[in-house]
Amino acid sequence: MAETPLLEVEDLHVTFRTPKGPVEAVRGVTFKLGREKLGIVGESGSGKSQTGRAILGLIDSRGEVRAKTLRFAGSDLLSADERAMRRIRGNRISMILQDPKYSLNPVMTVGHQIAEAFLVHYKASRKDARRRTLEMLEAVRIRDPERVYHAYPHELSGGMGQRVMIAMMMIPEPDIIIADEPTSALDVTVSLQVLAILDDMVTRLGTGLIFISHDLNLVASFCDRILIMYAGRVVETCPAGELDKAQHPYTRGLLNCLPKIEQGAEILPTLVRDPSWATQDETAR
Amino acid sequence: MIRIDHLNVVFGRGRSTVHAVRDVSFAVRRGESFGLVGESGSGKSTVLRAIAGLVDDWTGTLEVAGTAQARRRSRDFRRQVQMVFQDPYGSLHPRHTVDHILKEPLYIHRLEATDDRVVESLEEVGLDASFRFRFPHQLSGGQRQRIAVARALIMEPSVLLLDEPTSALDVSIQAEVLNLLTRLRREHDLTYILVSHDLAVVSHMCERLAVMRLGEVVEDLAIEQLRRHMPTHPYTRQLFQAAHGYSRDFVAQLVDDI
């Protein structure tokens, strides 16, 4: 990663105003993303999803985003107005969400939705868009692209729906994809198949991927590098292959409390939370 | 303790018939913990619901504690066999206090619903008496699932049917709830049937498991066999490998129809 990073995030904060006072969901997250697969792992409420949303400017009006740096391919995202953001969103940075059932438009055919994603960002004829869409559906290994083109989202299985989402997000060939729990709603074998498609596309196009998930083992086996988040902060960064050598007690605790197929322990070790994890600086390795 | 023979469940009629469970047979001994594993639509939850009496359209034989069960279950069965559901957000009445939630089954069974009994069952699941007058929205996911377990235990059952009891929880909370279930089984000599899509959870909790696919049991094996990497059916082997995370090579050799 000698080249300039695709994305630079420094000291990112996301604060929400609530009736009970401000809640800091993200508290000083710093990382750089190159053309790699970066995993962000944490439990619910750790701020991992809000980090992803803040990059795309998708924090709703009750929330406030502050950062020292939030730079994408050299341009500053913090000072970008809504019009500039719209040109980046979808086209240069896109997002895959957890459940295709809720993120696809239920009253539009799948083909139309994917073609729309293409037409919004490129000057092309409808015919070209249609051709590209069918190619894309084939690329995400949908067996009968012609049929799926004319199908509505409710006619697809969860795995197919998520492949359609990937096709839609990849068609403008973005530089970064943020995938927020993209396979958590899917069965394990289907989930691995969908990940393989994502893996192939990201590798072929040299896209930077931010993979947000609660599943430590999945992220470790899929990504190149992992950030572990706790209470809005990154507590540890490590290469995915060396997760088993993780130092931070929180990471270790999470790994230990997972039941394992091979060893039968009567009682699982539980996580004893140390208040210092929420304040201490990251143990970088 | 539980014996199921040629259980079939068919939903709908005419063209929209779904044969959800096909000829499923297994037996669970007293005090044993038995796992049902499968992907969505495999019929694992339907088997559990049929045992609980929540599904009417079944055929076959179902014996609990040596008594064949009819479509309509006896009051005694409904006390002895209790169920814990997946979603602790949906399974507790949002406008009832914990106290009310725990006393309701006692009222239904015309048992003595004393405050002591409520406090005792809260302590059983690791919560103190201060939780009695809280509403479900004032509890975390793990605490709610503890209340759901307490509600099942207050009837002093001999069988607990657990339908994905921890899949809505974070892994650190999952560990606590699994430990709780392990301890309760030992202390109360309970028999468990645990439904889960997570092979690791089942192998941690159970002595034996059945793997289901498209309504059928494809393999019935002891956890030891699974640990020694000896599942015989290709589908079980596939699930077993998939549980070990992502590998591009493994996905390449995945087969859709085994």
Residue-wise pLDDT for A256-271, tens only, equals 999 988 876 788 888 8
Give the closest-approach CA distance of B246 to chain A in angstroms: 5
Task: Classify residue A84 by burial, with Cβ atoms within 10 Å: 0-12, 13-18, 19+.
Answer: middle
Query: Between these two residues, A13 and A283, which has the higher pLDDT value?
Result: A13
Residue-wise pLDDT for A11-32, tens only, equals 999 999 999 899 999 999 999 9
pLDDT at residue B35, as a whole number: 96
pLDDT at residue B7, as a whole number: 95
What average pLDDT does range B74-85 have in this prediction?
A: 92
Does residue B39 sit at the A interface (CB-CB below 8 Å)? yes
Asked if the Cβ–Cβ distance from A261 to B199 is below 8 Å, we say yes
> A261: which chain B residues are within 8 Å (Cβ-Cβ)?
199-200, 203, 226-227, 240, 243
Which residue bears the tokens 């927020």?
A180
Q: Which member of B171, B197, B223 has the closest CB to residue A188?
A: B197
Asked if the Cβ–Cβ distance from B176 to A218 is below 8 Å, we say no
Range of the domain at B36: 2-252
Residue-wise pLDDT for B195-230, tens only, equals 999 999 999 999 999 999 999 999 999 998 888 877
pLDDT at residue A3, as a whole number: 66
Q: Kindly state whether residues A109 and A160 are assigned to the same domain.
A: yes
Strand-pair partners of B195: B36, B163
Q: Kindly state whether residues A126 and A210 are assigned to the same domain.
A: no
Q: What is the pTM of this model?
A: 0.89
Q: Which member of A217, A261, A270 has the closest CB to residue B175?
A: A270
Which residue bears the tokens 């006896």?
B74
> B227: which chain A residues are within 8 Å (Cβ-Cβ)?
261-262, 264
Torsion region of B232: left, alpha or beta (phi above 0 gives left; psi -120 to 50 gives alpha)? alpha
Q: What is the DSSP letter of B103?
A: H
User: What is the rounded distance in angstroms from the CA atom of residue A179 to the CA atom of residue B81?
Assistant: 42
pLDDT at residue B230, as a whole number: 73
Q: Could you tell me if residue B173 is inside a domain?
A: yes
> B238: which chain A residues are within 8 Å (Cβ-Cβ)?
189
Q: Kindly state whether residues A61 and A109 are assigned to the same domain.
A: no
A268 Cβ partners below 8 Å, 6+ apart?
A: A256, A257, A259, B175, B178, B179, B204
Q: What is the DSSP letter of B129?
A: G
Q: What is the DSSP letter of B14?
A: G
Q: Kindly state whether residues A1 and A88 are assigned to the same domain.
A: yes
pLDDT at residue B227, as a whole number: 86
Q: Could you tell me if residue B257 is inside a domain?
A: no
Range of the domain at A114: 100-173
Least Cα distance to B114 among B98, B127, B102 occurs for B102
List helix spans (H) across chain A. Answer: 48-55, 82-88, 100-103, 110-121, 126-139, 145-149, 158-170, 188-205, 216-222, 249-256
pLDDT at residue A1, as a whole number: 47
Q: Kindly state whether residues A88 and A122 are assigned to the same domain.
A: no
CATH of the domain at A13: 3.40.50.300
Q: Could you tell me if residue B258 is inside a domain?
A: no
Least Cα distance to A26 among A38, A10, A5 occurs for A10
Give the closest-approach CA distance of B179 to chain A in angstroms: 6
pLDDT at residue A281, as a whole number: 65
Q: Kindly state whether residues A116 and A51 are assigned to the same domain.
A: no
Instruction: Provide long-range contacts, Cβ within 8 A and 24+ apart, for A113-117.
Output: A113/A164, A113/A168, A114/A164, A114/A167, A114/A168, A114/A171, A117/A90, A117/A168, A117/A169, A117/A171, A117/A172
Does residue B18 sit at the A interface (CB-CB below 8 Å)? no
Asked if the Cβ–Cβ distance from A188 to B242 is below 8 Å, we say yes
Count of structural domains within chain A: 2
pLDDT at B109 over 50: yes
Give the closest-approach CA distance of A242 to chain B in angstroms: 15
Q: Which member of A187, A264, A267 has the closest CB to residue B39?
A: A187
Does residue B17 sit at the A interface (CB-CB below 8 Å)? no
User: How far from B181 is each of A59, B2, B204, B205, CA to CA, in Å?
Assistant: 39, 19, 11, 9
User: What is the rounded distance in angstroms from the CA atom of residue A70 to the CA atom of residue A51?
Assistant: 11
pLDDT at residue B258, as a whole number: 43
Residues across chain A: 285
Q: Kindly state whether residues A163 and A234 are assigned to the same domain.
A: no
CA atoms within 13 A on the CB side of A221: 17
pLDDT at residue A232, as a whole number: 94
Q: What is the DSSP letter of A214?
A: S
> B39: which chain A residues are within 8 Å (Cβ-Cβ)?
187-190
